[in-house]
């Protein structure tokens, strides 16, 4: 949650900061603000609403007010305090000597705030962040230390998660960055002098300026300051001041991947990206002559994989729903008992037996706090930890024993589309990889791989009929309730479809295993409660057809999502969406696409902000 941006260098900071906030706005858009430091003075501008509101606000300022080569900025997803100008970041300390932006939650802020109030400090906002600003000021004043040491000492007193940027009037050519549980990346400027640095919650605001970055680790504090007319970067431990050697990563993402490419919204672009994103997911990994998969990062763990007695798959939101599909794949192809857990709940439960147990953590961003905590617990329990992650260099990618990257490129819209289909594909491929070590025949592996290679063309075929789904959206946009129903592999598909409808269209949609329908939920069915029934011609076809009859008998409308050769349902249901024929295990990948399109087009019809749905953020970095 929340996006932070910083710049220190020779250029004017504010255009870089505003552009950076626009890149990070998927992380939160309740309010935005920037602070500039020039000639020993702060200029702070904050506005409730999206970054566009802040841009309008500062356009009226003259160039002198916006000057300065040092600045920090923030786009907010509200935690403590309602969205307002007052609660917007950056926050100044009482004396106005220190300014801070913060992503995360300080859990013990109330006790610290009470101590500071007793010392005479006053607070203008309801945030935990302003408390931290004043704590830093208080330590700096009484301990008479540098700003980096004041920040370090303050952070030894706080409990919680944070990624912070701090500036001080007293040290105008210094920027402090610190991390615990929330992501932050530092970009190293190009050119001979390398005399500029860029800081952000992730690399998206940085890649247009440099491809050389340092990912700050938990418990680290970074100091950027000027020495001998040159900016330098130093990284230390918050706990004991020990110097750390930064590892410089080279980013491979291209700036063009962050643009809409002629589409009206990122979400639609990313839906249409899926033929290529699926190709990128499988590229170089299919070993057809062996009926198997190559995952280079897993090879040194083959012995542990062969000895696995059980698997836990963990994730939140879309990642957990793709995990539910993977659960069937692992049990069918790998013969490994598998269960799916919320990342949040795995962390707090007792695990009966962890011997020869593996954890597969799924996260598009690689920063999901609940999932990251689950990995840390699993490692303490000596479990093998594997990751399915899209963002290279992310916290989860670095934390797991071994990982697999989606390689689908940046996903900017809050509602996940191309990452979700890639996750399902990777889980199936992983099940084949495990299975070939545990008794899955080469012929069976080749049969599935042959169909996997067809997926991009099949998705292109579905996308060619997008206009038909847009037409359905116009018909069904007025309804405020939906059931989305599936069985077996498609129970998870139904839950993901309902999430898309909720996220984008603000429609109450329930994803449900259709077997549960007559155990209570069917009482909701009437003419104003349509159902989308995922009913491909697979092993569950007759069971799903019975569910359709039960709904129709009670006056419910039905949209059937079925295999294109199936003409039987046309005279039974109200509308039909067809998908190409494929193996049962791969149907969810194809079924995701029309549900994404329907949620998108209904959202547009209802006038919603498709890429930035209300109350949501792309990456949930607080628990």
* Dist CA 391 CA 570 (whole Å): 42
The DSSP output letter for 83 is S
- Closest CA relative to residue 532, chosen from 594, 489, 443: 594
* Dist CA 498 CA 530 (whole Å): 12
Question: Measured between alpha carbons, how far is residue 331 from residues 310, 429, 545, 607 in Å?
Answer: 10, 13, 26, 43
> Three-class SS string for 390-431?
CCCCCHHHHHCCEEEECCCCCCCCCCCCHHHHHHHHHHHHHH
Contacts of 228 (CB under 8 A, 6+ apart): none
Answer whether 389's CB lies under 8 Å from 366's CB: yes
* Dist CA 621 CA 623 (whole Å): 7
Both tokens assigned to 551: 């709904």
Catalytic residue among 2, 46, 269, 500: 2
Question: Measured between alpha carbons, how far is residue 204 from residues 5, 128, 200 in Å?
Answer: 10, 26, 8
Using alpha carbons only, what angle is made at residue 270 by residues 395 and 557, rounded to the nearest 5 degrees? 115
Helix (H) or strand (E) holding 6: strand 3-8
- Closest CA relative to residue 495, chosen from 481, 514, 477: 514
Contacts of 262 (CB under 8 A, 6+ apart): none
Catalytic residue among 48, 50, 140, 618: 618
2 flagged as catalytic? yes
Using DSSP, state whether 48 is helix, strand or coil: strand
* Dist CA 445 CA 168 (whole Å): 60
504 flagged as catalytic? no
Q: Helices in 10-124 by DSSP H: which ranges?
A: 13-24, 51-59, 109-118
Burial of 260 (0-12, 13-18, 19+ CB in 10 A): middle
* Dist CA 482 CA 413 (whole Å): 23
Interstrand relation of 338-342 and 310-315 (parallel, antiparallel or unpaired):
parallel
The residues annotated with a catalytic role in the active site are 2, 618
């Amino acid at each position: 949650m929340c996006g932070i941006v910083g710049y220190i260098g020779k250029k004017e900071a504010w255009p870089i900061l505003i552009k950076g906030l626009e890149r990070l706005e998927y992380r939160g858009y309740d309010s935005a603000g920037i602070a500039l430091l020039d000639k020993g003075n702060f200029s702070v501008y904050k506005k409730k609403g999206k970054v566009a509101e802040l841009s309008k606000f500062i356009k009226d300022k003259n160039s002198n007010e916006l000057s300065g080569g040092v600045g920090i900025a923030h786009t907010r997803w509200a935690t403590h305090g309602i969205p307002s100008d007052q609660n917007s970041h950056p926050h100044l300390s009482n004396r106005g000597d220190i300014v801070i932006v913060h992503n995360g939650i300080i859990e013990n802020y109330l006790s610290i705030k009470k101590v500071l109030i007793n010392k005479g400090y006053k607070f203008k906002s309801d945030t935990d962040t302003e408390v931290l600003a004043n704590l830093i000021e208080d330590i700096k004043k009484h301990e008479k230390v540098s700003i980096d040491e004041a920040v370090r000492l303050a952070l030894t007193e706080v409990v919680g998660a944070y990624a912070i940027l701090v500036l001080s009037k007293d040290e105008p050519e210094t920027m402090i960055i610190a991390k615990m549980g929330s992501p932050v990346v530092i970009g190293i400027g190009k050119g001979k002098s390398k005399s500029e640095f860029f800081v952000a919650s992730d690399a998206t605001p940085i890649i247009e300026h440099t491809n050389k970055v340092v990912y700050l680790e938990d418990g680290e504090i970074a100091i950027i300051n000027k020495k001998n007319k040159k900016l330098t970067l130093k990284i230390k431990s918050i706990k004991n001041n020990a110097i750390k050697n930064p590892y410089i990563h080279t980013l491979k993402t291209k700036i063009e991947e962050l643009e809409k490419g002629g589409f009206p919204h990122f979400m639609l672009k990313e839906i249409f990206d899926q033929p290529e994103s699926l190709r990128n997911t499988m590229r170089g990994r299919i070993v057809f002559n062996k009926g198997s998969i190559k995952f280079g990062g897993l090879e040194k763990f083959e012995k542990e994989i062969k000895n696995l007695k059980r698997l836990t798959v963990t994730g939140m939101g879309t990642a957990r729903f793709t995990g539910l599909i993977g659960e069937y794949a692992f049990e069918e192809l790998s013969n490994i008992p598998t269960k799916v857990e919320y990342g949040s709940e795995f962390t707090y439960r007792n695990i009966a037996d962890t011997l020869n147990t593996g954890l597969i953590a799924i996260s598009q961003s690689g920063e999901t706090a609940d999932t990251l905590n689950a990995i840390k617990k699993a490692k303490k329990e000596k479990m093998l930890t594997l990751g399915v992650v899209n963002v290279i260099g992310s916290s989860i990618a670095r934390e797991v024993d071994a990982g697999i990257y989606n390689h689908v490129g940046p996903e900017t819209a809050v509602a996940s589309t191309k990452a979700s289909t890639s996750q399902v594909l990777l889980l199936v491929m992983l099940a084949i990889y495990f299975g070939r070590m545990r008794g899955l025949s080469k012929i069976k592996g080749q049969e599935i791989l042959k169909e996997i290679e067809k997926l991009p063309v099949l998705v292109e075929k579905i996308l060619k009929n997008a206009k038909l789904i847009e037409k359905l959206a116009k018909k069904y946009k007025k309804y405020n309730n939906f059931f989305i129903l599936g069985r077996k592999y498609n129970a998870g598909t139904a839950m993901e479809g309902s999430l898309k409808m909720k996220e984008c269209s603000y429609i109450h949609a329930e994803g449900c295993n259709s077997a549960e329908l007559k155990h209570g939920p069917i009482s909701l069915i009437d003419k104003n409660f349509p159902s989308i029934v995922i009913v491909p011609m697979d092993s569950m076809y007759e069971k799903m057809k019975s569910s359709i009859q039960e709904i129709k008998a009670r006056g419910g409308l039905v949209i059937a999502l079925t295999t294109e050769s199936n003409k039987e349902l046309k005279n039974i249901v109200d509308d039909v969406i067809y998908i190409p024929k494929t193996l049962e295990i791969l149907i969810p990948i194809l079924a995701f696409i029309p549900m994404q399109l329907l949620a998108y087009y209904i959202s547009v019809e209802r006038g919603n902000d498709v890429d930035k749905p209300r109350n949501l953020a792309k990456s949930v970095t607080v628990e």
